[in-house]
Amino acid sequence: MANVAVIGAQWGDEGKGKIVDWLAERADMVVRFQGGHNAGHTLVIGENVYKLSLLPSGIVRGTPSVIGNGVVLDPWALKAEIEKLTAQGVKVTPETLHIADNCALILPFHRDLDALREDASGAGKIGTTRRGIGPAYEDKVGRRAIRVCDLAHLDDLGPQLDRLTAHHDALRAGFGEPPVDREALLAELREIADFVLSFAKPVWLMLNDARKRGRRILFEGAQGVLLDVDHGTYPFVTSSNTIAGTAAGGSGLGPGAVGFVLGIAKAYTTRVGSGPFPTEQENEIGERLGTRGHEFGTVTGRKRRCGWFDAVLVRQSVAVSGVTGIALTKLDVLDGFDEVGICTGYRLRGQVIDHYPSNAADQAAVEPIYEMIEGWHESTAGARSWAQLPAQAIKYIRRIEELIQCPVALVSTSPEREDTILVRDPFSD
């Protein structure tokens, strides 16, 4: 039986939370392998709505959940999220949550720097969540990060703090900010250390043992492929690699650990924040999609930009992330449209191209080529089998499969967990 990696095939917000929750019941472990608390996964279970940012989605159902070494961890955000879930009746214990002891930490001055840069960027804003994710990854790559394991050795942090504050003090001075208060930082870390360390362990050992014993592992990606720092719409991207290949390095398992790669894509397209968006509909269609789809960011609350399905971009995501099958979500949002559009290619300065270019100026200049497909007026909401879908909705799905060169494995027709049409079971592949 295959291990499964779930990734977003667009710009995030595709409905990964529901799909991971749907799969987590049959998994033995759920692993987050990149990103930080800039992710936003919403789970609807009966009458309860759970909004997760850092914790793996399996935690709500008690499935053992892992925060892998590829994640950057804000200790205070972790504590706040656990407390919020506890208030909702979810038990989070060292038996259900495991944190890699080599995770890099997000510290208060990372959040400061994130906000200072965004405020100073004017029209060049990236649209970050201002939660310090990018600066924390910079320190990790710069070999000056404080990691979870260091919380057990705070009295020995002098040389690390020297490197870290030398870098950040210079940056802060450029913004007219005072140096990092080292004593205050150490005091905050001492206060939170025991809480974080209670969940910490060398999770790579645990995961490798689980793999040897044939346990089903579900890898949960954050954001989406189009936000990947290499393969996304650079520079309007996140700070980590969001493709499925990152599941290996971000968890401590080899590349052979990932079997089925399930890409999540909405039946239309959305994006939060700045950056190019070829199929964006800044008109009544976009408003209708946003209203019907309740398109507001889980983490930021920002209104999402909406547009038609972009088959070119999803085909690109399928290719660079090795997607085995697609979970198509929010099909019901398209109910009632007389016609629906699919972008099948682009024109770039008069030339037809079949891929999204890397250069930012070229990305801004592409013009989408649309294929308009007859819509349907019957409801797809709550459908759980092909027989319950209108013929035109099925034709729409089949056309998407042709254009993205990848089969649809699941179709989601509402936020409810059971309102899912299973075409191909990722775990039995």
Q: Is 266 annotated as a binding residue?
A: no
Residue the block writes with tokens 């800044």: 282
Q: Is 420 annotated as a binding residue?
A: no
Q: Is 41 annotated as a binding residue?
A: yes
Cβ-proximal residues to 387 (8 Å cutoff; 6+ apart), any chain:
none
Given the DSSP bridges, would you call strands 41-45 and 48-52 parallel, antiparallel or unpaired?
A: antiparallel
Q: Is-contact 161 155, C-beta < 8 A?
A: no
Q: Is 344 annotated as a binding residue?
A: no
Q: Is-contact 239 223, C-beta < 8 A?
A: no
My answer on whether omega of the bond before 64 falls inside 30° of 0, hence cis, is no
Q: Is 65 annotated as a binding residue?
A: no
Catalytic residue among 37, 41, 98, 266: 41
Q: Is 18 annotated as a binding residue?
A: yes
Residue the block writes with tokens 């290499």: 230
Q: Is 230 annotated as a binding residue?
A: no
Q: Is 413 annotated as a binding residue?
A: yes
Q: Is 57 annotated as a binding residue?
A: no
The number of helix segments (H) and strand segments (E) in the chain equals: 12, 20
Q: Is-contact 151 174, C-beta < 8 A?
A: no
Q: Is 223 annotated as a binding residue?
A: yes
Q: Is 301 annotated as a binding residue?
A: yes
Residue 335 appears among annotated catalytic residues: no
Q: Tokens for 62?
A: 């008690």
Residue 28 appears among annotated catalytic residues: no
Q: Is 233 annotated as a binding residue?
A: no
Q: Is 298 annotated as a binding residue?
A: yes
Range 368-389 burial, b when 16+ CB lie within 10 A, else e: bbbeebebbeeebeebbeeeeb
Q: Is-contact 53 299, C-beta < 8 A?
A: yes
Q: Is 79 annotated as a binding residue?
A: no
Biggest alpha carbon–alpha carbon distance for the chain: 67
Q: Is 330 annotated as a binding residue?
A: yes
Q: Which segments of 72-167 are extended strands (E)?
A: 72-73, 97-100, 104-105
Residue 314's φ and ψ, nearest 5 degrees, are -70, -40
Cβ-proximal residues to 196 (8 Å cutoff; 6+ apart), any chain:
73, 75, 78, 79, 99, 148, 151
Catalytic residue among 37, 98, 110, 140: 140
Q: Tokens for 214?
A: 């044939």
Q: Is 134 annotated as a binding residue?
A: no
Q: Is-contact 341 279, C-beta < 8 A?
A: yes
Residue 334's φ and ψ, nearest 5 degrees, are -85, -5
Q: Is 16 annotated as a binding residue?
A: yes
The strand pairing partners of 305, in sequence order, are 271
Separation between Cα atoms, residue 424 and residue 429, nearest integer Å: 8
Q: Is 322 annotated as a binding residue?
A: no
Q: Is 30 annotated as a binding residue?
A: no
Residue 37 appears among annotated catalytic residues: no
Q: Is 17 annotated as a binding residue?
A: yes
Catalytic residue among 13, 150, 310, 419: 13
Q: Is 38 annotated as a binding residue?
A: yes
Binding residues for GTP: 12-18, 40-42, 304, 330-332, 412-414
Binding residues for substrate: 298-304
Binding residues: 12-18, 38-42, 129, 143, 223, 238, 298-304, 330-332, 412-414
Binding residues for IMP: 13-16, 38-41, 129, 143, 223, 238, 302
Residues involved in catalysis: 13, 41, 140
